[in-house]
Amino acid sequence: MTEFYSGVQKAFVSVDIIVFGFEDSKLKLLLGKRRMDPGRGEWSLYGGFVGAEESVDEAAHRVLFELTGLRDLYMKQVHTFGAVDRDPGERVISVAYCALINVKDYDHRLLEEHGVQWVELDKMPQLYSDHSDMVKRAITLLRRRINTEPLSFNLLPDLFTLTQLQHVYEAVLGEEIDKRNFRKRIKSIDFIEKTELIDKLTSKRGAALYRFNKRMYAEDPSFKL
């Protein structure tokens, strides 16, 4: 049995996480400058190695927790990158994951601690190794799925206004959306609940706050925007 595995080399397996946030009507991601070789000083995603006693998914959640201090965040596997020389040092195969978080939940002290910062997607610098490809894939995934899965709420606080929600869609899809058509569609989705609460921060008149009702969604998990 061991003979069956012989003659094949092992590899390091890592996870790299594309963490998306949303602020000022812009899609942003967490990037840092590498503090270690190889690639010291280059812009890069946050990542880590898969340990011997954890699954790849678990590793991704552990690393995301390290980075954000948050658990149970929305995260999906994006793609696995396995070019021979993608890491200049050793053979490292990396599984990219995409996470969505509400920037407001993020403890800003952690930014410095991990040497990362929020960078607007539109102003993304060139990244280390194949990390730019990882981001590209993650965005493609987001765009494909945002209309068929209730992703968007993960980028917002529990309570949000319809204008905020619309801005999320506009930022992800990169195009403007008609306000009245958007709100019409939202009204037809019954697990997006209007609350009695009103947000007076962003407008003088005040805007109704809405909430994503997970239970109601779980009962009939279909989504079409």
Footprint of its own copies on this chain (CB under 8 A)? 1-2, 4-5, 8-13, 36-38, 49-57, 59, 77, 79-84, 89-91, 93, 95
- The SS3 assignment for 29 reads strand
- Phi and psi angles of residue 74, each rounded to the nearest 5 degrees, phi first: -70, 125
Residue 194 · residue 210 · CB < 8 Å = yes
4 binds, among its own copies, DNA, none (CB under 5 to 8 A by kind): its own copies
Distance in Å, CB of 141 to DNA, minimum: 21
9 binds, among DNA, its own copies, none (CB under 5 to 8 A by kind): its own copies
Q: What is d(CA 94, CA 83) in angstroms, rounded to the nearest whole number?
A: 9
Residue 24 interacting with DNA (CB under 7 A): no
Distance in Å, CB of 85 to DNA, minimum: 44
Distance in Å, CB of 224 to DNA, minimum: 7
Q: Which stretch binds DNA (CB under 7 A): 42-50, 64-72, 74-82, 205-213?
A: 205-213
Q: What is d(CA 75, CA 60) in angstroms, rounded to the nearest whole number?
A: 9
Determine how many CB atoms are found less than 10 A away from the CB of residue 48: 16
DSSP letter for each residue of 187-205: HT-TTEEEEEEEE-SS-SS
1 binds, among its own copies, DNA, none (CB under 5 to 8 A by kind): its own copies
Distance in Å, CB of 59 to its own copies, minimum: 8
Q: Which is nearer to its own copies, 33 or 91 (CB)?
A: 91
Distance in Å, CB of 64 to DNA, minimum: 31
Residue 26 interacting with DNA (CB under 7 A): no
Residue 200 interacting with DNA (CB under 7 A): yes
Residue 205 interacting with DNA (CB under 7 A): yes
Residue 31 · residue 124 · CB < 8 Å = yes
Could you tell me whether strands 43-44 and 26-33 are parallel, antiparallel, or unpaired per DSSP bridges? antiparallel
Rg of the chain, C-alpha, whole Å: 20
Rounded to the nearest 10°, the torsion over CA 22, 123, 29, 222 is 50
Residue 162 interacting with DNA (CB under 7 A): yes
Q: Which is nearer to its own copies, 9 or 188 (CB)?
A: 9
Q: Which is nearer to DNA, 83 or 198 (CB)?
A: 198
Nearest to 134 by CA among 171, 101, 95: 95
- Return residues touching DNA (CB under 7 A): 161-163, 178-181, 183-185, 200, 202-208, 224
